[in-house]
Amino acid sequence: MENNILDIKGFSCTMLIVKTKKAMDKLNSGDVLEIHSTDKGSVNDLKGWAAATGNEFVGYKEEDNSLKFWIKKG
């Protein structure tokens, strides 16, 4: 992970959450993690995970057949 960017293109739900959690564990409160994914279901997965873990789902956008997400560590 470089500069708080996690590239998990090609991974589906379970690995998406596992890798996101591991990356978030390395951050300080208030830091923002940028996640790159190709899994269309990851929108709901990451929104739900952030809410359940006390982190803030900042937003996402679709770009070049992939999704970019931003989650702020609580």
Residue positions annotated with a catalytic role: 13
Size (the chain), residues: 74
**Residue 58 phi, psi (nearest 5):** -75, -40
- Cα(2)–Cα(54) distance, integer angstroms: 23
Tell the residue number behind the tokens 């090609």, with chain if given.
10
